[in-house]
Amino acid sequence: MENFRLDKQHLSLKALYNEIEISHNNKLIHKVRGISIIPIHVTIEPLKIKDNLVCKSLDVERELFTGIYYTNIIDYTLGEITFAANFLTDAWVADIWNLLVEEKEIFLSITLTDETIKEHLLKENSELFQAIDEVDFFCERYNLKIENFVVAAKFEQIEVDLEGISARLSSEIIFFRKKIFTELLIQRLDAKIFEYEEVKKILLPKSKKEIFQKWRTKQLREIELVQKYIRSPFTFDDLEQFTNFRSVNEFAINNYNQQDLVSETFYWIGHFPKAKTRFEIAIKHYQNKENYRDSIDNLRLALELLLKDLFKNSKSLDNQIPEIGKYQKDLGISKEIRNTFQKTLEYYNDYQNEHVKHDDSVANEHEVEFMFGLTMLLIRMLVKPNPMFNIQ
């Protein structure tokens, strides 16, 4: 029952068999295996987007100002995005608000076609029915409708509408656009709720308000997570980067490259502000291809400050190796990996002392790139295995 189509979207359902008693004049005639359709969750999958991003044409520009906005266009101006956000969120707010203030509960029911129900009844009640005609005769004889054998799935209409908006927002390639649409929508609904309840002193139906608040929290948490991921100089420049983000919860990124690792490093050092500041400085020098020596020195300092904060001591980087070994052992890291980590860190220190700390002989950009990658891997191996710092 998964991937159930609804208005070009997908809802996740599951079907269970139940037992239905057929009685006449309070006398049990038959027990028939019927069907219950249950919503697994009200989440609607995001709209599909084109694999290739396209540039805006004159026709698309005209359509924008008639209310049509495309998610796979990469060169909308800031003014056009703001314009689109205003007219789209106006329409969304109007629809959601009508559902919020409606006292009556509005449900969307999803059931099966008559033919499908009959096929299930035939399959699950073979001792009673041998053919579809016998199902029809049974219903006619006992004055039953075929839908009597199914318990339909029921969704609150406001849940479906909010998840439909979520699906639309999740289709945005450029995070800035998703953020502006989402936050503008939430701000407008928050303002209307405040005016309704605090100024007019009219309370919204509790169950519907709770549905909206749950949806609101979910959207804002996702925005917060994305902002952790892109707190580097890199943003979603193309579909590949967007796809990489979709797996951010597991960090099973599809195609690792330097910018993905930079973004992930910002995620893991979120609890270490001093280390984060130094890492940002290193990134700036590296990105601008200036002062490679200071870039690598700030990488070392970022790692050193992280360890001082982690172990609550003031030891230098080379004196932290025993502490690291004990820390990793407590996290269940194998002896071989611990030894590899410590030996790598020793060579890392040797390079820093020889070429950076006591000299200025960093000239090979490939070495700089290698030191960046190595530092980020060291940071990840220090922070990621520790459940205390999983900040998702």
Three-class SS state of 273: helix
DSSP letter for each residue of 61-106:
HHHHTTT---TTBS---HHHHHHHHHHHHHHHHHHHHHHHH-SS--
How far is residue 189's CA from residue 324's CA, in Å, rounded to a whole number?
A: 50
User: Tens digits of per-residue pLDDT, 201-229?
Assistant: 999 999 899 989 999 998 998 888 777 66
Q: Is 173 helix (H, G, I), strand (E, B) or coil?
A: coil
**Number of residues written out for the chain:** 392
The span from the CA of 322 to the CA of 297, in Å, is 22
pLDDT at res. 342: 94
From residue 249, alpha-carbon distances to 242, 254, 267, 375 in Å are 13, 13, 11, 22
- Report, as ranges of residue numbers, the positions in the chain whose pLDDT lies below 50: 1-7, 231-238, 240-242, 244-257, 391-392
Dist CA 251 CA 362 (whole Å): 32
On whether the CB atoms of residues 39 and 151 are closer than 8 A, the answer is no
pLDDT tens readout for residues 359-384: 777 777 888 888 888 999 999 999 98
- What would the pLDDT profile of 177-195 be if each residue is shown by its tens digit? 888 999 999 999 999 999 9
Longest dimension (CA), the chain: 99
Alpha-carbon separation of residue 38 from 70, 109, 282, 331, 385 (angstroms): 34, 10, 53, 41, 38
